[in-house]
Structure formats: structure tokens, C-alpha cells
Structure 1
Amino acid sequence: MSVSSFSAEDFSVFKIDGLDQRMEALKERIQPKLIALGDFFSQELSVMTGEEMFTHVAKHARRKVNPPNDTWVAFSGNKRGYKMVPHFQIGLWETHVFVWFAVIYEAPIKAEFGKTLMEAAVKVKETIPSNFVWSIDHTKPAVLPHQDLSVSELESIFQRLQSVKKAEILCGIQIPQEEAVKMTDEKFVERIRDAFVELIPLYKLT
């Protein structure tokens, strides 16, 4: 299998000071793994969603001073980009790997999707696995565990998606660094695949 799990050395990239130095390490160590994940899961997600999915590896091109604290590969049905449309992500912070379904603030369908989620709130609460997490800001590592959220708390997140301009919503899993580094490549792929299977119904709601 050409897909590799992440090592302790990979996570340590985020300890490197300086934009150029960290970007160089990201390109050398992390991006080849993200490209391999992209090649593999774009095919898997194309089958799961029933539409062709394209890969987009984060370039961090707009950064001029601060080095990135996370990096990822995104998957979307749009060949040109992913931020404007519902998409999936696999990536990592220094502390964990993340696997997301995401609708971020650039997506024009945001308010409409928030309304759809409101109508399906009870079903969403029942069907999303208890060990999954939610995020309302993709630029921060903080999450809301699904098992801790009531239906009404989910509804307030969905309401925010409709009314707040910068609002966004992500759902998925986090694999702590200490767990990720011990995973075999096969187990890593299986864990990501299982997460995507559970997230497809949310994607279909869009």
C-alpha cells in the first residue's frame, strides 16, 4: 500500500521555527504523504459519493510571516478548489490527525445547509457516532465532542451557520498523535475510511 501513516518525525515539523524552514519540512516530509492519501481517497470518495472527487493539497501560499500550525489534503467535487463547496479533509496539527467533512465560511450554500441540518437535527444526533467531534472554526484545534452535545445545542450550531457570516461547520474524528504514530498503514487507512463512511450522509444532505 502506498499510503503511509504519520510518524513522530512528521508531527515534529510543527515545532520548526520560521516560515521558510517549516514550509521546506512540510514539502519534504508531509506533502508526499498527503498526495498519496489524496490519490487513494479521491477514488474511495468518488465511489462513496457517486461523483468524481478531486484532491487539493494545502499550499499555504498566502502566508508571509507565520508558519502554518496545521496542513491537509482536501477532497471536493470541484476541480478548481474546495473552499466554496462542501468537502472532506485529512490533515494534521502537532497534537493530532483530523478527518473532516466541512462546509467553511466561503461556501455559498452555508445558510441553506444550516436550515437543512436544523430540520434533520434529531437524526444527526442519533446517527453521528458518539466518538466524533464538531468544529465551528477550521483554523483552531478546539472541538465539541458529539456525545456531549444535546439536540438543542446542535441546533444552535446549525442556526449559527445560517446567521453568522464567518460561521462554518466541520464534523469528523481526531486521532491523537500518540495513537496515530503507533498505527500500521493498513489500520490508518481503515480508520479514515470508516470515518468517511459515517460522514457521507452529512455530505448527501448538502
Structure 2
Amino acid sequence: MYILQQRIEDMFDKKDFEVFNDTTLPGRLSLIKTNLDPKFEVLGSDLQKQLEEEYQEKFYMKIAKHQRRTKNPPPDTWLAINQDKKGYKKTPHIEFGLWPDCYFITFSLLADIRNRTAYYPILKKYQAEIIADGWGVSNDHTASLLKPAIELPAVIKHYEKVKSSDLVIGFELAVTDPIVKAGDYDELLADKFMQLSKYLVLFNQEAAQ
């Protein structure tokens, strides 16, 4: 299991979700900046360091700032790590964040990713492994519900045919889960992130061949 190097006792807890109780844009942004972004900074920096040590490659971190929002409060918030310093949205990337009902850790290939078709055969190559590992899957990075892993072949097929769709693989920990109620699950989240990171590295390596 991955051990947090910058350990903060019970860094994440069920109070994290209180940021979504504020329905105003400035109020929620202020709560995210005060309550969540410092935690993202600690966890993200720690994960970035661990990834670089493990894979001997360069990784880049970005914490969502929601700067383009002018009216509605953000429905979720996150940090993202990828391997392209120009930005993460058009490249394979991993996110850790919160929806109002869960924490999420997702590996994503978004609809407008660069060289999209290069990832189709890679997805099929690793689909059996992804299913065996039990990751959730989805065609929509803007929704919090992941489908069971067994649906991955259909999700890949949809991603190939529908150009506006995403490809999402990941893990969710519901706010109602007994693990969250009990507390002390920082290392579980970090461990899931590190497990999922192998696909970020593999997909980048194979797409570059």
C-alpha cells in the first residue's frame, strides 16, 4: 500500500463535502479554496513526487480553479496529474476530486483528446485487465456515477462511435460509505490513485510508439 510521505492525520474527512452546501458561486469557491485546495496541494505534490520516483518520468499537477465560471457554482472540484506540461485536458490524465456525493479517482481520455484514435487499440489491449481489477467505467466525465467494470467493452465501443463521448476509468468512495463515516482513509485514496496511474504511463508510452 502507498504511504503518504507528507502525512496529515485524517487529512480528508466527511466535512469535505460541506463545501457543496453553499449554493452561491462566490461562497462555494471560497470554501473550496479554503477547505479543499490546501489538501489537494499536499496530496497532489506527494503523489507527483511518488510517481516521478516510481516511473522515472516527469509528471505535472493542476488544481482546478474554476476561473471561467461567472454564475453557477462548480458541481465538483479536483486536482489532475498528467505527463504534458502544456495542459492535461487534451492528454490522458488522472483526477482526484469530489462530487457532492463521493470522492472520485479517474483516468480519463476526454472527447477532444489529441490523437484520439490512437487510444482505441490500447483500450482494447488492456480491457481485460481493467475489468479484472474492478474499476468503474463511464462515457461521461461530467457525471459522478461509474458503471460496473464488466460494461467496459460497451463503453469503449461507444467512445469509438460517438465523438462527443469520453472514456473514464476509476473508483468512487461514497460519502455514505462506512469507510468515510469511520474516517482515516487518506491512504486508501492515495493507493487507488497510484494503482490507476499505471494506465496513464502505459497509454502514453504505447501511443507514442
The TM-score by the shorter chain falls in which range?
0.7 to 0.9
Task: Please point out which of 100, 105, 121 is paired with 1:115.
Answer: 121
TM-score, L = length of structure 2? 0.83
Q: 2:207 is matched with which residue?
A: none
Task: State the Cα distance separating 1:106 from its structure 2 match.
Answer: 2.6
Q: Point out 4+ residue stretches in structure 1 off by more than 6 angstroms.
A: none
Q: 1:33 is matched with which residue?
A: 39
Corresponding letter in the other structure for 1:174: E
Whether the aligned pair in 2 keeps the contact of 1:6 and 1:181 (CA below 8 Å) is no
Task: State the Cα distance separating 1:162 from its structure 2 match.
Answer: 2.3
Output one character per residue of 1:142-162: Cα deviation in whole Å (capped at 9) or x when no partner. Answer: 11022xx2xxx4222112222
Provide structure 1 residue ranges, at least 5 long, that are not aligned to the other structure: none
Whether the aligned pair in 1 keeps the contact of 2:13 and 2:183 (CA below 8 Å) is no
Task: Please point out which of 158, 174, 177 is paired with 1:176.
Answer: 174
TM-score, L = length of structure 1? 0.85
Whether the aligned pair in 1 keeps the contact of 2:96 and 2:193 (CA below 8 Å) is no
Q: 1:193 is matched with which residue?
A: 190
Output one character per residue of 1:62-98: Cα deviation in whole Å (capped at 9) or x when no partner. Answer: 1111101110000011223110111111111121111
Output one character per residue of 1:25-60: Cα deviation in whole Å (capped at 9) or x when no partner. Answer: 111111111111111111112234431111100011
Counterparts of residues 96-175 of structure 1 (less than 5 Å): 96-126=102-132, 129-130=133-134, 132-146=135-149, 149=150, 153-175=151-173
Whether the aligned pair in 2 keeps the contact of 1:72 and 1:92 (CA below 8 Å) is yes
Whether the aligned pair in 2 keeps the contact of 1:110 and 1:168 (CA below 8 Å) is no
Whether the aligned pair in 2 keeps the contact of 1:115 and 1:162 (CA below 8 Å) is no
Whether the aligned pair in 2 keeps the contact of 1:115 and 1:159 (CA below 8 Å) is no
Counterparts of residues 78-97 of structure 1 (less than 5 Å): 78-97=84-103
Task: State the Cα distance separating 1:141 from its structure 2 match.
Answer: 0.8
Partner of 1:202, secondary structure, is helix
Whether the aligned pair in 1 keeps the contact of 2:11 and 2:186 (CA below 8 Å) is yes
Whether the aligned pair in 1 keeps the contact of 2:137 and 2:152 (CA below 8 Å) is no
Q: Provide the aligned length of Structure 1 versus Structure 2.
A: 195
Corresponding letter in the other structure for 2:73: P
Cα–Cα, structure 1 residues 48 and 166, in superposed 2: closer, same or farther, change >3 Å?
farther
RMSD (Å), alpha carbons: 2.0
Task: Please point out which of 54, 58, 61 is paired with 2:64.
Answer: 58
Q: 1:15 is matched with which residue?
A: 21
Identity %: 26
